[in-house]
Structure 1
């Protein structure tokens, strides 16, 4: 078999497994493949030795953001319109396990019976999660998220249908007026994409410190510092969690402190930072609706040893706005913008703007949001008053609740 012959030839050498070494081994194999066949074979074998194996062809599609392997004949991908079944297939369960073990090993960790669930980040922007049987009842599972270097502008997101010109103006204002915000939504709804684009609106003189479990944010901005958490090594030492990184970031004089995704006890440090003068920061959070965000924050606060009342007090003065993004049959969309408020029923996210069947609708929290925007300014030298964008009062374009 050509793959086995080339693999043995390349691995027998002392140098690194490079594309040129693979191409030379293919040529030296003596197989009569022709120019096109030799190039295709070299690319396929290089993917098998260095890349994602049979999945590499999916990764070459710039629209693919996620790849899922559930079995030899069950490979799925996401190109922004929901999950689609791919025509890619593996020869066997063993081939999937071998690929998973190699990818995890490349990330400095091990995948075996003693460590059957592993998450690693690889060069090239791949975040790989692997699960072995019997933890997985259907064999080896692979989930690969691909970080694309391309960053969209607000205009491009608007043209793609994520929001209209009214919400675009409001998102600009939220950043410019330094309101602290969270972007909520389900997995794959576009939270990170929107956050990265919004951060690019920050003033060039500001210092952005980004804290992530796996680096995905790439805002177009001249002064960005990124910190990434680290798993323990094979002996379990050397781990750095997000909470510790937030504490370190506070010593780096950030103008905006961003936690890519609030998913654990680090929410305590983030809320503390936003309450001590670091306005204009925020991050993303998993939630099915904007209204579910207070309960999610309470649950995350409990992981940090905070009771519900302590979380409530922290959140009430730390966060201003919740921007909720949704996945629709037509793509990703900003579904609503809400304000965190107090009520007799406890802490709530009250709608300021939302999309309804009749179009964009102003909710009961619109006056509160407008007041917060009017009371804030991005920099001391900026005295420009916040004004409603043209068209916000047009009843044919925006309804009322």
Structure 2
């Protein structure tokens, strides 16, 4: 069972006999107040130079992909960036399970829907990305890229929807190209096509880590590039 309560709390439960040791419950409690870049600075996630550059990037409407492992703060970083979007702009966020609550007055949240017991009624993230383009978003955000929605996001970002963003699970910056190619394959995109679209779509890749002490930090920034027929990445220091 995987549900989101009205309060925003996510509950995931696995019952016996699937969970051989008995019922296992995981609870994920959202932040009451979404962070902004100043909050991340106070927490030690970014330094002053990074903070200034990140805000400049948001105001410059650069498309960005935020990567990292589980629990590294990808959603928190994304919400913090969105808090600095000008208030007159419309942000449309699309997620498998709605978690993003940016500190912004003009935010529309769309959430995917699973099929019912009869196997009908599903609404995928990929479909929501397509539908969102009719909502005239100033910023199009996909909370987490897991499958075929990568094709829809790349298409949108390459057709004039600047200032967009997405997140992706990746263990390290060097792993990002392979992860994108794997998602592209699920969407029927071969490596050369994926490389062309991704290089054009994303200005920067922000990679986050969680250190042994639990501190979540922005540690690397990369720029996607073509490496023959495949996708590559180069680490940069733009601040």
SS at 1:261's partner residue? Answer: coil
Q: Is the aligned partner of 1:347 residue 2:231? A: yes
CA distance in 2, matches of 1:291, 1:313: 18
Q: Which residue of 2 is the match for residue 325 of structure 1? A: 208
Q: Which residue of 2 is the match for residue 288 of structure 1? A: 171
CA distance in 2, matches of 1:332, 1:280: 24
* Alpha-carbon contact 1:125-1:148 (below 8 Å) kept: no
CA distance in 1, matches of 2:152, 2:42: 36
CA distance in 1, matches of 2:14, 2:190: 34
Q: Is the aligned partner of 1:278 residue 2:161? A: yes
* Alpha-carbon contact 2:36-2:84 (below 8 Å) kept: no
Q: Which residue of 1 is the match for residue 222 of structure 2? A: 338
Indicate how the Cα distance of structure 1 residues 345 and 298 shifts in structure 2: closer, same or farther if over 3 A, else same: closer
Q: Is the aligned partner of 1:194 residue 2:77? A: yes
Higher relative contact order (CA 8 A, sep 6+): 2
Q: Which residue of 2 is the match for residue 208 of structure 1? A: 91
Q: Which residue of 2 is the match for residue 162 of structure 1? A: 45
CA distance in 2, matches of 1:234, 1:126: 24
1:267 Cα deviation from its structure 2 partner: 0.7
- Give the total of aligned pairs: 238
TM-score with structure 2 setting the length: 0.94
* Alpha-carbon contact 2:36-2:80 (below 8 Å) kept: yes
Q: Which residue of 2 is the match for residue 217 of structure 1? A: 100
Q: What pairs up with 1:124-273 in 2 under 5 angstroms?
A: 124-273=7-156
Q: Which residue of 1 is the match for residue 181 of structure 2? A: 298
Structure 1 residues without counterparts, runs of 5 or longer: 1-117, 354-365, 367-391, 393-401
Structure 2 residues without counterparts, runs of 5 or longer: none
Q: Which residue of 2 is the match for residue 28 of structure 1? A: none
Indicate how the Cα distance of structure 1 residues 251 and 125 shifts in structure 2: closer, same or farther if over 3 A, else same: same
TM-score with structure 1 setting the length: 0.57
* Alpha-carbon contact 1:323-1:336 (below 8 Å) kept: yes
* Alpha-carbon contact 1:149-1:218 (below 8 Å) kept: no
1:166 Cα deviation from its structure 2 partner: 0.6
CA distance in 2, matches of 1:148, 1:324: 21
Moved over 6 A (4+): none
SS at 1:340's partner residue? Answer: strand
Q: Which has the higher helix share?
A: 1
Whichever of the two has the greater Rg, that structure is 1
**Any idea what the Cα deviations from partners look like across 1:233-289, whole Å, max 9, x if unmatched?**
233321111001001101111111000111111111001100110011011110011
Q: What pairs up with 1:27-176 in 2 under 5 angstroms?
A: 118-176=1-59
Q: Which residue of 2 is the match for residue 7 of structure 1? A: none
CA distance in 2, matches of 1:318, 1:153: 25
